[in-house]
Chain A
Amino acid sequence: MVKMSNQAAPAQIASDATSVLLSELVAHLRQNRTLLREEWVRRITDAEQLTAMTEEEIFAEATSVYDSYVEALETGTLEALQAYARNLSERIIPRGVETDEVVGIVLLLRDVLARSLFAKYHVDFKVLDRILDAYEPAANRIAITVAVGFVQERERVIREQQEAIRELSTPVLQVRERLLILPIIGLIDPHRARQLTEQLLHGIRANRAKVVVIDITGVAAMDANVANHLVLTVEAARLLGATVIVTGLSPEIAQTLVKIGVDLGKMNTVGDLQGGIEEAERLLGFKVFPIRETKTA
């Protein structure tokens, strides 16, 4: 009955029957705060968890976790603990603390507290049984909350980084009026190829570009699909009124392009980026020369 009511109302840890037991439990944990906390820290150190942190830091965090833990047991609400777990994760993830360590220390705390309950109530098995009935579901839910909070924080960081990489991966840069360069570095997968095309075509419109140099020196190889996509991008850019010059084709990519039968009349290619920019300047009617030479001439 007790367990069922616990499961039926997940936000509320305690039902009426268990709330009395829980408050007794909380009082016990408050009373023995110093002792239990030290025991917990000792076991964390023994288990060689949280090696990335100093002993003082572990003790400070352990104090906060212990207090939030007891508070969650008392109020039955997990919001405060959830917020604390997220905050803690934010601080310790950059220091290389692993998921198993976080789950491990929360389970250690659960064990330490359960042991102290055993020690206190072992004379009366029936009371102990009821106390554990009240304690275990609440403790497990707390452990799950902390673990989920940690993993969620981690995933959030990963998502942010992926987003950052995606944005960095395809810069469209203006180097002269109406001349854009698009340096591509690394592997191109179909998703990135699509994104690249989109950015380039919109970049052409936004900057009113007449010539675009796509430099693929940093791309070692590409499969036939991506190569084909590149050819389509060149074609689409022409429809927008821009000329595309592709530079820095590696021997492998040159082979791929010839194998898929690219119409070379449509593709304007130059050996390296410098040559590409010079060709683009010629098309745009720019002429670049050193100042000194003109003085002597």
Chain B
Amino acid sequence: MPVPILKQGQTLIASIQAALTDTDLLELRDALLEQVGRYRSRGVIVDVTALDVMDSFSTRTLRDVAHMTRLRGAQTIIVGIQPEVAFAMAQFGLTLEGVPTKLDLEEGLTFLAESAEQQPDE
């Protein structure tokens, strides 16, 4: 099942609705990387609220997406990780290092808006 990607201003929102196969994940990666360039997006939010399992492949792929989109000028953040999933990920050492994580979509949008405000000053 492909993941819908919504465009909201300068932000792309990918809302994962159900468990993804490895192929789905790779397609999501490619689609995000392509659309970041096409819409000149500054931020990407991946919402994983619906996922009750995050394995090493999906964690690594999402981290890769974050690093790749940064190279193309957009910051990626992951939102909506469930408490149980978070602890399981910590136990297996899947900690998404270098990728900001936020509580939910709202928090993610606020975070991106704040960092967009700060950037022109720097």
**Which A residues are closer than 8 A to B by beta carbons?**
197-198, 201-202, 204-205, 208, 210, 232-233, 235-242
Residue of A nearest to B96 (CB): A239
A205–B103 contact, CB under 8 A? yes
B95–A204 contact, CB under 8 A? no
Q: A201-B86, A242-B103 are in contact. List 20 more A-B contacts (CB 8 A).
A: A198-B83, A201-B87, A205-B103, A210-B103, A232-B87, A232-B91, A236-B87, A236-B89, A236-B90, A237-B86, A238-B95, A239-B81, A239-B85, A239-B86, A240-B103, A241-B79, A241-B100, A241-B101, A241-B103, A241-B107
Q: Give the distance to chain B from A259, nearest Cβ to Cβ, in Å.
A: 19
Q: What 0/1 pattern do residues 97 to 122 of B give for CB contact below 8 A with A?
A: 00011110001000000000000000
Residue of A nearest to B102 (CB): A241
B89, B90, B91, B96 pick with most chain A CB within 10 angstroms: B90
A240–B81 contact, CB under 8 A? yes
Known: A239-B101, A241-B101, A241-B107. A202 touches B83 (CB 8 A): yes
A236–B101 contact, CB under 8 A? no
A201, A239, A241 pick with most chain B CB within 10 angstroms: A239
Q: Whole-angstrom distance between the alpha carbons of A24 and B121 in the complex?
A: 103
> Which residues in B have their C-beta under 8 angstroms from that of A201?
83-84, 86-87
**Which B residues are closer than 8 A to A by beta carbons?**
79, 81, 83-87, 89-91, 95-96, 100-103, 107
Q: Whole-angstrom distance between the alpha carbons of A198 and B81 in the complex?
A: 14
Ordered by A's residue number, 6 sampled pairs between the chains whose C-beta atoms are within 8 Å are A236-B86, A236-B87, A239-B90, A239-B96, A240-B86, A241-B107
B83–A233 contact, CB under 8 A? no
Q: Whole-angstrom distance between the alpha carbons of A198 and B87 in the complex?
A: 9
B87–A208 contact, CB under 8 A? no
> Which residues in A have their C-beta under 8 angstroms from that of B87?
197, 201, 232-233, 236
Known: A198-B83, A204-B83. A239 touches B89 (CB 8 A): yes
Q: Whole-angstrom distance between the alpha carbons of A210 and B85 in the complex?
A: 18
> Which residues in A have their C-beta under 8 angstroms from that of B107?
208, 241
A210, A232, A240 pick with most chain B CB within 10 angstroms: A240
